[in-house]
Amino acid sequence: MSKSLQAIRGMNDILPEQTPLWRYFEGTVARLLDNYGYRQIRMPIVEFTELFKRSIGEVTDIVEKEMYTFEDRNGDSLTLRPEGTAACVRAVLEHGITGGGQVQKLWYIGPMFRHERPQKGRYRQFHQIGLEVFNLDGPDIDAELIVMTWRLWGELGLRDAVKLELNSLGTSESRGRYREALVEFLSAHLDKLDEDSQRRLKTNPLRVLDTKNAETQAILADAPKMADYLDDESRAHFEGLKARLDAVGIPYVINPKLVRGLDYYSKTVFEWVTDKLGAQGTVCAGGRYDGLVEQMGGKPTPGVGFAMGIERLVLMLEALDKVPQELSRQVDVYLCAFGEAAELAAIVLSEALRDRLPNLRLQINAGAGSFKSQFKKADKSGALYALILGDDELAQQVVGFKPLRGQGEQQSIAWDALAAHLATCVVQG
């Protein structure tokens, strides 16, 4: 195929073989969020570039080098959203739904866009499920977010494969004091820092903690610790969070170097990480951002949230063999009809079955065909049973009911008994 007719590098089709697993994952998360009282919000995929510059911060990786930014026909600078928090904050402010201290517990799902180097678990269009809570400032809600994800890992069978890392970044004041101490320390070792860290030291010094460079990491071993600079309020908040996680029995490790890539976090930050996906180990990340709404022009409004990467979690389910068996079958019953009169009866009969059994997954043979070819298609569909309608069956108002996976002999079933029979052997839920 010519190059121009291929998908863009790092932007993937999700093929029909893969969508059952995606829908299982998305459905599981959606049900969980419903059960905890979160409501879905849907934001546009494109926003003014300014929104992301203001919220994420000019000197972050995302804004510096990962955004898909373009000018539209009006000459406005627009950007394909690289994450969901900025747009969600914009939306709640625009619609005034966090005013007067109103609590909002919101979630969203959809594609995000970042111009990164594509590799396993890292793409240019990827998908997140994210969640934001506004106007609750205590550790109880931070704990709820983590407890909820812990439950999700349990439902998906992933608990043994993920690890929770926690840190507190303090308030912007205590973080400011820490930043000064860190800059002073690192400046004294400037010539030994890697190039990226030298640059970050000037623009976003906390990000130096995040470095992958071994030499810089060695220097950081003696650097001042964020925990020593925490203000009392942040310390109490962090203790409150840990007490709740301990009470529920959720294991965690404190990672003093966890700073997150974005500028807007304060107090709690956390990441769920795995060693099952190589370098792309973070499957869910989030934290508190009490200053963000005000920074974006709203009244002071505490906020906390997280986002998880759907591709990475789907990869994990596959890698750990946690794909539920029942996802492999998409069809329960395949109806074969032979001849024009039988085809007419088949469509009427199948509509009546769908009326009676709304969850029945019934596929009617399309495109006619011989006995042999229809059975071949029935078998290939993965169905458990084939229904057979030919002239003889039509005359007697019955169908042939043929197990396709070795569960007994073919039998004849009267049309008016068929729904009840199918209900006993295929329809659940």
Query: Using CB under 6 A as the criterion, which residues of the chain lie in contact with ligand ATP when the complex forms?
Result: 83, 114, 116, 121-123, 126, 128, 261, 280, 282-285, 307-309, 311-312
Residue, CB closest to ligand ATP: 309
* Residue placing its CB nearer to ligand ATP in the complex, 124 or 377: 124
- Min dist CB 280 to ligand ATP, Å, is 6
- Min dist CB 70 to ligand ATP, Å, is 19
- Min dist CB 165 to ligand ATP, Å, is 12
* Residue placing its CB nearer to ligand ATP in the complex, 159 or 421: 159
* Residue placing its CB nearer to ligand ATP in the complex, 126 or 229: 126
Residue 68, beta-bridge partner list: 80
* Residue placing its CB nearer to ligand ATP in the complex, 126 or 401: 126
Residue 48, beta-bridge partner list: 78
- Min dist CB 68 to ligand ATP, Å, is 12
- Residue 107 neighbours by CB under 8 Å, 6+ apart: 33, 38, 39, 40, 41, 129, 130, 131, 132
- Min dist CB 150 to ligand ATP, Å, is 16
3-class state of residue 249 by DSSP: coil
* Residue placing its CB nearer to ligand ATP in the complex, 113 or 178: 113
* Residue placing its CB nearer to ligand ATP in the complex, 126 or 153: 126
- Min dist CB 246 to ligand ATP, Å, is 24
- Min dist CB 271 to ligand ATP, Å, is 7
Cβ proximity of 45 and 159 under 8 Å: no
**Is the Cα torsion angle 206, 212, 292, 297 positive or negative in sign?**
positive
CA 65 to chain centre: 23
* Residue placing its CB nearer to ligand ATP in the complex, 308 or 383: 308
- Min dist CB 308 to ligand ATP, Å, is 6
Q: State how far the alpha carbon of 65 is from the alpha carbons of 82, 111, 373, in Å.
A: 11, 18, 55
Residue 285, beta-bridge partner list: 271, 307
* Edge-to-edge strand ranges of the sheet holding 398-403: 362-364, 333-337, 385-389, 398-403, 411-414
Nearest of 247, 249, 243, 240 to residue 267 by alpha carbon:
240
In 225-321, alpha helices (H): 232-248, 292-295, 310-319
Rg of the chain, C-alpha, whole Å: 28
- Min dist CB 360 to ligand ATP, Å, is 37
Q: State how far the alpha carbon of 412 is from the alpha carbons of 140, 379, 396, 415, 417, in Å.
A: 61, 19, 10, 9, 10
* Residue placing its CB nearer to ligand ATP in the complex, 133 or 308: 308
Q: What is the rounded distance in angstroms from the CA atom of residue 4 to the CA atom of residue 45?
A: 24
Nearest of 79, 60, 83 to residue 131 by alpha carbon:
83
- Min dist CB 132 to ligand ATP, Å, is 13
* Residue placing its CB nearer to ligand ATP in the complex, 13 or 222: 13
* Residue placing its CB nearer to ligand ATP in the complex, 213 or 330: 213
DSSP string, 15-32: -TTTHHHHHHHHHHHHHH
Using alpha carbons only, what angle is made at residue 362 by residues 361 and 364, rounded to the nearest 5 degrees? Answer: 155
